[in-house]
Amino acid sequence: MAAPGSPVSDWKYDIIQQIHHRNRVESASFKPVFDAYGKLFEFSDSLKAQNTQLNLYVEKLKEENVRLQVSGGTGGSSASDPRAQERIATLEQKLYKLQEELTEMHRRKGENAQQLIDMKNALQEKERLLADRERRIQDQDATIYGMKLAIKQSEAAVLELERTNQLIKDEQQALHIAYCSMEEKFRKMANENEDLIQRWLRHKADEVERMNIETENQNRMRQRSLQRDIIEAAKDPVAVNLERLLGHDDVPMMPVCCVVIPSTAQRKFEAHDAEVNAIRWSPSGRFFATGGGDRKVKLWEPSPSGAEPECRGVLTGSNAAVMAVEFDPGETLIAGASSDFAARVWTLNDQRLRHTLTGHSGKVMACKFFSSSHRVVSGSHDRTLKIWDLRSRACIQTIFAGSSCNDLVCYGSQNIISAHFDKKIRYWDSRSENAVNELLLYGKITSLDMSPDSLYLLACARDDTVKLIDIRNNQVTVTLCADNFKVGCDWTRAVFSPDGQYAMAGSNDGTLYVWNLKTGQHDNVEKTLKEHTTTITSCSWHPQGNQLLSCDKNKKVVLWSDM
Amino acid sequence: MSDDREILRELWNGQVPVHFVLSSDETSNMEAPQPYFVLVPRQTYFPLCLDKVNRHFQKYTTQTAAGQEIWLDFDGTPLRMHYPVGVLFDLFAHDALLPWTITVHYSAFPEDELIHLASRDAMESYFMSTLKEADALKHKVTIVSTMQKKDHKQLWTGLLNDRFDQFWAINRKLMEVSSENPYFRYIPFRVYQADKSFIQKLVKPVDEEGRRQTLADLLLQVFPDHQNRKVVIQGVKMSPQTPLQWLSEHFSYPDNFIHICVHEK
C-alpha cells in the first residue's frame, strides 16, 4: 500500500474518493427509497395478480353457478358432467325416497282419517252416555231433593215426637215422684191402719154388744115412725119437690128469662192485636172481658143500641199471652191466666193490677175464684194446681196433678175438677192431697164447664167430641159431636147455656156449634153459627141466655144477638 | 493490493437510479401509466434488466405496441442498449438531475440509429465477442479461447446475476500479467462522445522507450488538437496522469474495455 504523499497513491486515493462520491450520489442516497419502492411495487403487483386471480376465480365460480343452474333447470341436460350425473342420481334417489315418504304419508293420513271417524263415533257414543248419565244424575238429584225434603219433614216429625216424648217422660217422672210420696204415705197409713185395726178390733166387741141393743131399739123406732109416715103421707103428698129444691143451697139462681139461641151475628169486631184466647161475660152480664195474645185483658161494654161494644178498660201487666179470664162472683175482681207462668188479679173499679201470683214453672192455662173472692185456684202446664190466698198473697196449697192441666172448675167450697193433657179428668178435695176420683177419656181434654145445677160436667176433648159427664156416678152420659166439628187448640172452651139445656163449642173451621142436651145421643146439634173464618178458641153465653160471644185466633170477637 | 481490490468492488457496486416513464405515444387511453423506478447496476446492460420494466409497461400499451421490441430514449436521444449502462449514463446524464428519467418506447423503432438487441442471447453473444476482442488486444495468446465453456458461462451469469466474486474468479485470469511481460499488448478502450460514434485505436501501455503511458498520452493520440476535455470513466473524473496499464486492469467494464466518456468543455 503506498503511503499518501507519493504521487501514485495520490491519484489512487483521489479515484477511490471519486468512486465513493459517485456511489454515494448515484446509488447510496437512492438505495433505501428504491428498495422500498421495489418491495411496494412487488407487493402491489402480487396483490394485483391475486386480485385478478380472485376475480377470475369469482368469474369462474359464477360461470359454474350459472351452468349448474342451467343444468338444474333443464333437469340434467348436461349429463356429460359425471359429478352432475352423480348429483342427479343422488337427487333422484332423494326424490324417490321423498315420493315413498309421500305415499306413506298419504296412507297414514287415510288411516288417521279412519281413526278420526272412529274417534268421532266413539265421542258421540260417549257424549250420548254422558247425556244419559247427566239425565240420570238430574233425576237422582231431584230424588235426593225430594228425599231431603222428606228428611226435613221427618226430622220435624221426630222433633215433634221428641218433644212429646219429653213431655210424657216429664209426666212420668212427676208421677213417679207422686208415686213415691204416696208410697211413703201408704206406709204411714199402713202403720196407722195396723193401729186402727187393733183399736177397731178392741172396739168391735163393745160395738157388737151395743149393736145388739141398738138393733132392738131401732126395730122398735122403725115400727113407730112407719106408722107415723103412713099417716102423714095420707095427709099431704105435694110438698116433696119444693123441699128438695130448697135443700140445695149450692145451686145458683135460675135465670129469669128463658134461653134463646140467637142466629145472627150482631157485631163482629177486632178486639186484640193478636189472637183472642179467652172471652167471658161478667156474672151480671153488663160487661165482658177478653184475653189476647197481645198480653192484654180488655173490658168491653156491649151497646144496648146494637152498636159496636165499647172498650171500657185495658188491663195490662202480663208479660205473655193471656190464656183465660174469670170474674169473681161479686164482680169486683177479674183474674187472668198468662203464659208468663203467672196469674194476675185486677180490680174492676180502678182497673189496677192487684196481685201477681207467681210460682208456677209452666204457662198457666186456667185460673178460677174458689169458694170466695179471696181465693184463686190456678192450673198450669207444670203439672201442678196451686191455691192462692189473695189476702196473704201467698200460695197456700200445691196439688201435684201429674199431668199438664188445661182447665179446671170449682164447685162447692172445697172441690176442684181439673182437665188434663193425659186425657184424664181428676177430682180433688182441697183438704186432701190426692185425687178423689178420675175419669179417662179418649183425647186430651181442653176445657171443663160446670152445669148450673152442679150435677153435670161439660168436657171438650181433642178427639173432637164434647162429653157430658154425670158427676154423681162419674160417667159420660152424652157424647156431643158433629161431622165438621174439630177441636182447634188445647184451650178450646165449651160452655153450658145458663139453663143447662144447651152446650156450645167452637170448631176449627170457625163454626160455632150449639147442641141440645135433652134430645139424646143422636142428631142433637141444635144450631150452627158461621161467622168466623179461623179457629174459634173460646165462647161465652150471656147469663140471661139471649146473647153469645165467640172469639177466634184472627183477633176477631163476634157478638151474637137477635135483639 | 487491497486498495485496488476495494476499487474493483466499489466500481462493481456502482448503481444508477433510473426513472422509467412510458412514452405518451404508447399509452392507451385507459389510464395514466405509473412510472417505474429501479437502481440499475452500472456494469450491466439495459436488455438484462428491462424484464420487469417491460412487464410493467406492457399493461398500459396499446394493442398494436404489444409484442414489439422495447427501446429507450433520454431527452429525445435513443439509447444504444449494447453499451453498458454506466457508459450511457456518463455520456448523456452526467450532469442531469437524479434520478435519470428514461422514456420507454415500443413503436416507431429508430431503425437507422439502433440495432435490434432486445433478446438476451443476442446480448450474450455481443458481450462475449467484445470480451474476446479485448482479450485479443491485451494478450498475444488469447486466454478466452483456452477457457472452458463453463468459464464463459460463469462470466456471463456473474454479470447477469450481479455476482462480483463469481465474475472476478474468472475475469482475474483475463487481467493477469506475467512478471516478464508486465504490460498488455494493447489497451482495449473506446472513447465516447455525445452524438458521435465511439473512437477506438491501438494504444500500448508503454512507449518505445519503456515509459509507462498515461491517460493523457492516450487522449493525445485520440485527440491530437490538445483541446481541454473532461474525461469520465466509470462515473469518475479521471486524472490524466493515471497509468493506462492500471486503468485497464481496474477500470475496465466487464467486457474488459475501458469506456471513456469525453465531454467538451
**What CATH number does the domain containing A444 carry?**
2.130.10.10
Q: How many CB atoms lie within 10 A of CB A513?
A: 23
Whether residues B15 and A22 touch (CB distance < 8 A) is answered with no
Is A182 inside a domain boundary? no
CA dihedral B195, B196, B198, B203 (to 10 degrees): -130
CA dihedral A338, A341, A345, A351 (to 10 degrees): -50
Closest approach of B201 to chain A, Cα-based (Å): 25
Whether residues A27 and B16 touch (CB distance < 8 A) is answered with yes
Is A184 inside a domain boundary? no
SS3 call for A131: helix
CA distances from A552 to A92, A525, A549, B118, B122 (A): 110, 21, 10, 159, 164
B-chain CB neighbours of A30 within 8 Å are 15, 17, 39, 98-99
Given CB atoms, is B44 within the 8 Å cutoff of chain A?
no
Smallest CA–CA distance from B2 into chain A, residue:
A1
Is A306 inside a domain boundary? yes
Instruction: Identify the pLDDT of residue A9.
Output: 66
Q: What is the fold of B14-105? A: Ubiquitin-like (UB roll) (3.10.20)
Mutation target to probe the A interface, by most A beta carbons within 10 A, among B12, B236, B238, B246 is B236
Instruction: Identify the pLDDT of residue A58.
Output: 92
Each residue's pLDDT, cut to its tens digit, for chain A (563 residues) gives: 334 445 556 777 878 888 888 888 877 888 888 888 888 888 888 898 899 899 999 999 999 988 888 876 665 444 566 788 888 999 999 999 999 999 999 999 999 999 999 999 999 999 999 999 999 999 999 999 999 999 999 999 999 999 999 999 999 999 999 999 999 999 999 999 899 899 989 988 898 998 899 899 999 999 999 999 898 888 765 544 544 544 444 444 444 557 888 888 888 999 899 899 999 999 888 889 999 999 999 999 988 777 888 888 899 989 999 999 999 888 889 999 999 999 999 998 888 999 999 999 999 999 999 877 788 999 999 999 999 998 888 899 999 988 999 999 988 888 899 999 999 999 998 888 888 889 999 999 999 999 988 889 999 999 999 999 998 888 998 888 888 899 988 889 999 998 888 899 999 999 999 998 887 666 688 888 998 999 999 999 998 888 899 999 999 999 998 87
- Judged on CB neighbours under 10 Å (0-12, 13-18, 19+), B241 is middle
Whether residues A31 and B39 touch (CB distance < 8 A) is answered with yes
pTM tops 0.90, yes or no: no
Whether residues B37 and A34 touch (CB distance < 8 A) is answered with yes
What range defines the domain where residue A387 resides?
A: 265-561
Q: How far apart are CA A275 and CA A557, in angstroms?
A: 10
How many domains does chain A contain in total?
Answer: 2
Q: Per-domain residue ranges for chain B?
A: 14-105
Q: Is the dihedral of CA A302, A303, A307, A313 positive or negative?
A: negative
Whether residues B3 and A16 touch (CB distance < 8 A) is answered with yes
Whether residues B13 and A16 touch (CB distance < 8 A) is answered with no
- C-alpha grid cell, residue A272: 186484640
Q: Quick one: which of A360, A332, A336 has its CA closest to A348?
A: A332
When the pLDDT of each residue in chain B is averaged and rounded to a whole number, the result is 81
pLDDT in tens, B149-193: 888 888 888 888 888 888 888 888 888 777 667 788 888 888 888
Given CB atoms, is B239 within the 8 Å cutoff of chain A?
yes
Contacts of B164 (CB under 8 A, 6+ apart): B8, B9, B12, B13, B158
Given CB atoms, is B95 within the 8 Å cutoff of chain A?
no
- Site of grid cell 475501458: B258
Is A508 inside a domain boundary? yes
Instruction: Identify the pLDDT of residue A561.
Output: 87
Closest approach of B136 to chain A, Cα-based (Å): 28
Instruction: Identify the pLDDT of residue A110.
Output: 93
| Number of A–B residue contacts, CB under 8 Å | 70
- Judged on CB neighbours under 10 Å (0-12, 13-18, 19+), A106 is exposed
Q: How far apart are CA B252 and CA B193, in angstroms?
A: 18
